[in-house]
Amino acid sequence: MTNPQTPGPDSLAERLAAVRAGIADAAAHAGRDPDDITTIVVTKFHPATLVRQLFDLGVREVGENRHQEAQAKAAELGDLDLGWNFIGQLQSKKARQVRGYAHSVHSLDRESVVDALSSTDGSIDGFVQLNLTDDPSRGGVKDAGLESLAERVLNTPGLTLRGVMAVAPIDEDPRRAFARVRIASERVRRIAPDARFISAGMSGDYREAILEGATHLRIGSAITGNRPTHG
């Protein structure tokens, strides 16, 4: 991918088609129905024009990890029937505003964020993010805190607990990491049987995620191309 000599798909449509084919292939290997897998295209750092192109290619779910950027793009693309997924670390102060455009928050990682998302005006989906590393700056709740955070979401008006979310650590085999997520998902389902979804798998590891039961993939660069540099 980083070798400029390597010919790869060079248009958005081709990259999207290649990833869709990769997902179908991995689903077949896993003996799963590809229709049970939702692909969220991560559009962070890319302009709204690219999101509109993705919509024209049939994409209906997008993911963003910074509140201000997401809010601006969602407003600019308000004419499109797009589902906005918030996937990044969230400050409690900003959490409430995310309800204004996102139908799903994948990064519920502590009680203060869950509490800040509480509302009596409609419900949005929530995933409890599990930290698979020992590094607290990585985002996500520690393994030991998983059930209590899930309970917190269950008891919060305005949030519907859908399942667990995780990012594979860089220094662990992704298949092994996602096997741990599958076990975490089973633990959550013991207290919330309907919260059966697993948000896992990115550009480099979505195949492994599918093999371990991921239902929501968050795929950026493999579809969008490299992200514009920023900041």
**Residues forming the site for ligand PLP (CB under 6 A):** 42, 44, 65, 87-88, 167, 202-204, 218-222
CB of 219 to ligand PLP, least distance (A): 5
Residues 159, 120: contact at Cβ < 8 Å?
A: no
Q: Which is nearer to ligand PLP, 117 or 205 (CB)?
A: 205
Q: Which is nearer to ligand PLP, 156 or 224 (CB)?
A: 224
The span from the CA of 166 to the CA of 215, in Å, is 12
CB of 193 to ligand PLP, least distance (A): 26
Exposure b/e, 139-153, CB count within 10 A at least 16 = b:
bbbeeebbbebbebb
- Identify the three-state secondary structure at position 72: helix
Q: Which is nearer to ligand PLP, 188 or 219 (CB)?
A: 219
Residue nearest ligand PLP by beta-carbon distance: 220
Residue 123 DSSP code: -
The span from the CA of 222 to the CA of 1, in Å, is 9
The span from the CA of 175 to the CA of 205, in Å, is 8
Q: Which is nearer to ligand PLP, 39 or 156 (CB)?
A: 39
Q: Which is nearer to ligand PLP, 156 or 203 (CB)?
A: 203
CB of 131 to ligand PLP, least distance (A): 12
CB of 82 to ligand PLP, least distance (A): 17
> Residue with structure tokens 């799963």?
32
Q: Bridge-partner residues for 128, per DSSP?
A: 108, 164
CB of 67 to ligand PLP, least distance (A): 13
Distance of CA 60 to the CA centre of its chain: 14
